[in-house]
Amino acid sequence: MSTAASADALAQDFVKFAVDAGVLRFGEFKTKAGRLSPYFFNAGLFDDGTKLGRLAEFYARRLLLSQAEAGLQFDMVFGPAYKGITLAAAVVIELARLGRNVPFAFNRKEAKDHGEGGLLVGAKVAGRVLVIDDVISAGTSVRESITMIQAAGGVPCGVAIALDRQEKASDGVTDAPWSAVQHVEQQLGLPVVAIATLADLLRYLQTAADPALYAHFASVAAYRERYGV
């Protein structure tokens, strides 16, 4: 199987996993931008050992594929508080299991003034640093991570996320012609690696054997038609 075919299969497997785990849900949900979305992805619901372990496996496999296919190189992993902390820890465990042992670090929301002190915890931030988070909504977490990594002497080299919504960024009033992910890639100069995208979700729904799942295809497709990039 080619790398591209493997990546596509990985994305479809991940979408199925997210749906089965109740992390990817369908209905009517209001986004931060004030849009009514027909689907909602809540990575906080990867909330037990089995689900978190499988999520880490998907991240690790996508990263190794991206390394082979696109030449993504990183020396360590950084997890922005709060969700990124658990994700980074889980992903480095899985990467080590697959033979790629890398250090990781994360930040506190508030600097500690005793003990080791400071904002950062874990391995010394150095070399090429990959940021791991669940999604990119406004890019705020990524920008903050870049600032901390650079201040510590590291070089931000990319961002890994679970799902790329592939929709126009918005301040709640106006829509931008680019997505938050595209902003990170084009304005901040960092490649973004996603386990799956909205296009992968649409493909999954369109080919679903379950009529209840297929029933959501039209509304998700219409949403992408209106807000997609």
Terminal-to-terminal C-alpha distance of the chain: 29
Q: Give yes or no: 216 in active site.
A: no
State which amino acid sits at residue 103.
P
State the catalytic residue, choosing from 30, 83, 109, 114: 114
Q: What is the distance between the alpha carbons of residues 196 and 107, in angstroms, rounded to a whole number? A: 26
Q: Per-10-residue mean pLDDT for the chain, 229 residues long?
A: 65 98 96 91 95 98 93 96 94 97 91 64 97 88 94 97 93 83 92 96 96 97 95
Respond yes or no: is residue 183 known to be catalytic.
no
Output the pLDDT for position 7. 57
177/186 Cα distance (integer angstroms): 13
Q: How many residues does this entry show for the chain? A: 229
Please, which residues have CB within 8 angstroms of residue 28's CB and are 6 or more apart in sequence?
36, 37, 38
- The whole-model pTM stands at 0.92
pLDDT of residue 171: 74
Catalytic site residue from 30, 32, 112, 124: 112
Fold type of domain 3-227: Rossmann fold (3.40.50)
The beta strands (E) that lie in the chain are given as 24-30, 36-41, 76-79, 104-112, 118-122, 128-132, 155-164, 168-170, 175-179, 192-197
Domain regions of the chain by residue span = 3-227
Distance CA(78)–CA(46), nearest Å, equals 19
Backbone phi, psi, residue 154, to 5°: -95, 170
Q: How many C-beta neighbours within 10 Å does residue 2 have?
A: 8
